[in-house]
Amino acid sequence: MQILLACAKTMHDEVKTNLLLTPPRFQQQAERFAYDMMQYDVETIADMLCCSHQIAAQNKLRFMSFFDEDKQKLPAILAYHGQAYKHLNAETLNEDDLHYANKHLWITSFLYGLLRPLNGILPYRMEGGVTLPSADGITMFDFWKAHLTECLIESVKADDGILIHLATVEFQHLFDWKRVSKELRVVQPLFYVRKGNQLKMQAVWAKTCRGAMTRYIITHRITTPEELCAFSYENFQFASNAGEADFPHFIR
């Protein structure tokens, strides 16, 4: 069983670790994109990334650091600091957990494509709609689709053919998702908050639970979708009378 989790916009700039790291599968593409980005001025980067001048200036320096050989790489699973990663709480996983995660977890990235947890990366910011010369002027979404679809399908088929989809819907556009859904069994847990007689999906809670469920799968060595029914977190529990087998509902 393989897990798909989205990256986060917020990242640590350094992490203390003695873990042995490996190069990302698409390291060369990431470096080419970083080189493109460092050529732009801060105002242009702010427009491209839809961010503040301060964040754009920080990330121009980050892209420039991609070519500093002494810059320390971060394990991908520890590098991100968004809501899901706070509840994945990877810094408290033991070494066996991290090596297990490295075989079963994929992290999507607009810059790096797909990452394993122990791939060494540098902090960055990127958006799926950005177009760059090294991507032949097409968006990151369109560039990566041709590279990542086969990679994901092959890795899941080499396991047991089951993908636990815990990324946000936006990241499906990095793949030919129709093909992914056709060739694999995709199980997408959904997290809802009950408001009166209605169920509502709230982004913060959904990201929280995606991170917590990723941790649950890793630490409990979950091997079947049915075992996910035992997951509970922050009063979210499996609702057997809602959803479908491949869209299990967890309701608070």
Taking 90 as the threshold, does the pLDDT of residue 158 lie above it?
A: yes
Long-range contacts of 47-54 (CB under 8 A, 24+ apart): 48/127, 48/130, 49/125, 49/126, 49/127, 49/130, 50/127, 51/125
Query: Looking at 9-23, 25-39, 117-131, which range is the least confident one?
Result: 9-23
For the chain, report the end-to-end CA distance as a whole number of angstroms.
26
- Residue-wise pLDDT tens digits, 50-81: 999 999 999 999 999 999 888 999 999 999 99
Q: What is the mean pLDDT of the chain?
A: 96
Percentage of the chain exceeding pLDDT 90: 94
Taking 90 as the threshold, does the pLDDT of residue 160 lie above it?
A: yes
Mean pLDDT, residues 222-237:
96
Taking 90 as the threshold, does the pLDDT of residue 214 lie above it?
A: yes
Which of 6, 25, 7 shows the shortest CA–CA distance to 155?
A: 25
Overall pTM surpassing 0.85 (yes/no): yes
CB atoms closer than 10 angstroms to residue 103: 12
pLDDT given for residue 16 in this prediction: 87
Taking 90 as the threshold, does the pLDDT of residue 169 lie above it?
A: yes
Taking 90 as the threshold, does the pLDDT of residue 234 lie above it?
A: yes
Query: Contact, 40 vs 139, CB < 8 A?
Result: no
Tokens 């092959």, residue? Answer: 154
The dihedral built from the CA positions of residue 219, 251, 210 and 16, taken in this order, carries a sign that is: negative
Three-state DSSP class for 196? Answer: coil
- What is the token pair recorded at 64? 């420039």
Residues in the chain: 252
pLDDT given for residue 118 in this prediction: 98
Give the amino acid at 106.
Answer: W
E-assigned strand segments in 67-208: 74-75, 105-109, 113-115, 120-121, 162-166, 185-187, 190-195, 198-200
- Residue-wise pLDDT tens digits, 182-196: 999 999 999 999 998
Taking 90 as the threshold, does the pLDDT of residue 229 lie above it?
A: yes
Q: Per-domain residue ranges for the chain?
A: 2-187
pLDDT given for residue 243 in this prediction: 84
pLDDT given for residue 196 in this prediction: 85
